[in-house]
Chain A
Amino acid sequence: MKINGKSQNKSLLRFTTAGSVDDGKSTLIGRLLYDSKSLFEDQMEHIIQSGKRLGREELDLSLLTDGLRAEREQGITIDVAYRYFATPARKFIIADTPGHIQYTRNMVTGASTADLAVILIDARKGVLEQTIRHSYIASLLDIRHIIFCINKMDMMNWSESVFKDIRNGLASLVDKLKIIDAHYIPISAKYGDNVVDRSEKMNWYHGKTFLNLIETIEIRKNKNPDNKRFPVQTIIRPHTSEFHDYRGYAGRVAGGVFRPGDEVTVLPSLRKSKIKSIDVLGKTLSETITGESVAISLEDQIDISRGDMLVSTDDLPVINQDINLMICWFNERPMNVGGRYLIRINSNEAACIVKSVNYRMNINTLENDFENISIRMNDIAYITIKTSKPIFFDSYKKNNITGSMIFIDEGTNETVAAGMIV
């Protein structure tokens, strides 16, 4: 569509930021919004007034992201906050997460929907345990692009050798975690160097500024164009004279491309059929790709309900009741080995029993702990479960949507863990 002669196809980039308050994470986001003119006058006025009330001397851009009363009073970030801004090139959704170890679960939550992770490092301190933790979580959630911002370069005399030392330290971490695409930028969030505008103090850096990098970085979203996955959310049956026999399976494509005429296998029944049509509000589509919400109807009358999945016949997911997975525990009540939980994977739900904890991950050292395997809040562990019925799934590495699940406590209904199938 064109207006005023301008036409753009602006994409959406979701990124998560990890780092502690001291690293200048909120300041970086504030700086990004401020320098890209995404901060509005009334928000600016608001930050100034709040800062005065709290006795802050300098303009405190972190007040922008800390939205809850308790966060502002205590000067901490408790929960994931979502921020939005756009440039002519892209629209951005930032999941701003607290960086302290006790908020690992928030980091995992923010990372679960991100295409890219931004990890802040204080140039004075270099690579710390928390840097390892943040990088590990990004790799655990299979985020393929990481930008390391080496911040507070102003306090290290804008020194190239300081930056290089830190970068070299990070490179070995990146290798160890098998992170595919890593970037390193020396910045000063406080003064804005290399955030939106190029730094005049660091002429030795020839790479992109932070904003320029996130505007241009190519994100690989659709990993498996051939592995068709369509979890059925609900059935559409109009019961009108015009659409008397219409039966549409509503869902969001979780993998691959679907076209009318394609053969699909229905799980768990394993019956085969062909796609008759793909519809959205009166429009019939010639194809639908990963990420789109559509209604699919089939040539044959097959009994299909919520939780079932349409898949490509020549590439079926795994169908099994014994599942190995990495989990992050979210709840104050520790995990009960031998205990019963509900799992939800796509639109499918089942009961499960935790059979064993194979190891607990020490996320500060990246060592597997086989001794202390009681699982408490914010712990990450490798476990085995048995489900009450066969579940169809992929490994998380193969497909983030059909390979991820949440655990629900049947007593409290709370979401107590997130799981990534190995």
Chain B
Amino acid sequence: MKNQIYINDEHLRELEAEAIFVMREVAAQFENKVLLFSGGKDSIVLVHLARKAFWPAGIPFSLMHIDTGHNFEETLKFRDDLAKEFGAELIVRYVQDSINNGRVIEEQGVNASRNKAQSITLLDAIEELKIDVAIGGGRRDEEKARAKERFFSHRNEFGQWDPKNQRPELWNIFNGRKHQGEHFRVFPISNWTELDVWQYILNENIKLPELYYTHKRKIFSRNGVYLAWAPFMQLKPNEQVFETDVRCRTIGDITCTGVTLSKAESLEEIISEIAATRVTERGGRYDDKRSEAAMEDRKKEGYF
């Protein structure tokens, strides 16, 4: 496929209307509501949709960030600025705290990542703050286990997902009823693809962290994925750090977020690049390469 750019309004308008509908159902059906905010593009789009859903009132959700301590610095500043701009309460919980108080045992070795440990910190925060719904930016096109996910996804009192026993979801009727101690994860942009998200960002003129655009960065290659170098990353003997032009296709914990070699400076260039790419977005996510059912297993444990 050549650089086909599909800018159109009809299908994006329908996806937007669906996402706003879901956000409003969350506002109406739950009490203690948070929007899981990672600083990545999907959660930034969620914040934008929440503004649209409730304007001229403010966003009726707190923003919650589960901080692994292994972030790109730019992401944290962007997060703080965004929360301030829209007057949203920001709640941050740290994986480091979970490690310090013995709730999490940190992985060791060169491939060590705190990505999986986030689930425990998240579930602890949900229990501590009596959160009954957490809105996430997960999309069904991202990964095969996510393709089975509901808009309103039930979690039992242990925070677990039971993929084989999910509530059927028909038409646009969402059942958020639950028992004490249970909660829901809600995914308003379930039906969006990566390209939809980028086109929407362009159409709506949504501000993103500079990391998504081309910049010079020190990187190294591991198992065919380029990873950003940071002082806490352990290198294998054959791995060389070098500097080149890259951009992030997704932004998460540094230890498992791959970067893409790219000189794309504008949203238009990024969209051309994505429309032409032959590798999925999560193809650069080291956390999914651990095993065939890596995502399914993490989600059962309470992952995003």
Interface pair A79/B148, CB less than 8 Å apart = yes
Separation of A238 and B202 alpha carbons in the complex (Å):
28
Chain B hits for A88, CB < 8 A: 4, 6
CA distance A291 to B141 in the complex (A): 23
Asked if B56 and A238 sit within 8 Å, CB to CB, the answer is yes
A9-B5 contact in complex given A67-B144, A81-B148, A281-B52, C-beta closer than 8 Å: no
Whether the pair A68, B296 counts as a contact (CB closer than 8 A) is: yes
Q: Once the chains bind, are A10 and B6 in contact (CB under 8 Å)?
A: yes
Interface size class on chain A is: 35 or more
Known interface pairs A12-B15, A234-B28. Does A1 touch B171 (Cβ–Cβ under 8 Å)? no
A250-296 contacts to B, CB under 8 A, are 250-252, 279-282, 291-293, 295
> Which B residue's beta carbon lies closest to that of A306?
B28
- Inter-chain contact B173/A404, CB cutoff 8 Å: yes
Q: Does B168 contact A (CB under 8 A)?
A: yes
B11 interfacial contact with A, CB 8 Å: yes
Complex: chain A residue closest to B173, CB-CB:
A406
A113 touches B171 (CB 8 A): yes
Which residues from A are CB-within-8-Å of B9? 1, 9
Knowing A109-B168, A233-B28, A415-B168 touch, does A3 contact B56 (C-beta < 8 A)? Answer: no
CA distance A238 to B57 in the complex (A): 4
Stretch among B123-131, B230-238, B242-250, B276-284 lining the A interface: B276-284
For residues 143 through 157 of chain B, which have their beta carbon under 8 Å from a beta carbon of chain A?
144-148
Q: Is the CB of B24 within 8 A of A250?
A: yes
Q: Which of A40-48, A162-170, A353-361 contacts B (4 or more CB under 8 A)?
A: A40-48
Interface centre among B10, B53, B144, B166 (most CB of A within 10 A): B144
A118 within 8 A of B: no
Kindly list chain B residues whose C-beta atoms are within 8 Å of the C-beta of A1: 7, 9, 202-203
Q: Which residues of B contact A230 (CB under 8 A)?
A: none
B170 touches A233 (CB 8 A): no
CB neighbours of A346 from chain B (8 A): 173
Q: Are B168 and A347 interface neighbours, CB within 8 A? A: no
Q: How many residues of B contact A (CB 8 A)?
A: 69
Taking CB atoms, residues of chain A closer than 8 Å to B18 are 293
CB distance B173 to A405 under 8 Å? yes
A293 touches B17 (CB 8 A): yes
> Would you call B167 an interface residue if the criterion is a C-beta within 8 Å of the partner chain's C-beta atoms?
yes
Q: Is A187 an interface residue (CB 8 A)?
A: no
Q: A6-B4, A82-B191, A292-B13 are in contact. Are A42 and B54 (CB under 8 A)?
A: no
Chain A residues within an 8 Å CB radius of B21: 233, 252, 293
B20 an interface residue at 8 Å Cβ cutoff?
Answer: yes
Taken together as a complex, chains A and B put the C-alpha atoms of A109 and B172 apart, in Å, by 11
User: Which stretch, A147-155, A201-209, A240-248, A362-370, touches the partner chain B?
Assistant: A240-248
| Across the A-B interface, the 5 shortest Cβ-Cβ residue pairs | A67-B144, A12-B11, A293-B20, A42-B283, A10-B8
Which residues of A are interface residues toward B (Cβ below 8 A)? 1-4, 6-12, 37, 40-43, 46, 50, 53, 64-65, 67-70, 72, 78-84, 86, 88, 90-91, 93, 105-106, 108-109, 112-113, 233-234, 236-240, 242-243, 246, 248, 250-252, 279-282, 291-293, 295, 306, 330, 342, 344-347, 400-401, 404-406, 408, 413-415, 418
11 pairs across A/B with beta carbons < 8 Å? Answer: A4-B5, A9-B10, A69-B293, A81-B147, A233-B21, A234-B27, A234-B28, A238-B57, A251-B24, A400-B171, A413-B178
Besides A2-B7, A342-B177, 18 other CB < 8 A contacts? Answer: A6-B7, A8-B7, A40-B283, A42-B279, A64-B144, A78-B164, A91-B6, A91-B193, A109-B169, A112-B170, A113-B172, A279-B55, A281-B52, A282-B55, A344-B173, A344-B175, A408-B175, A415-B168
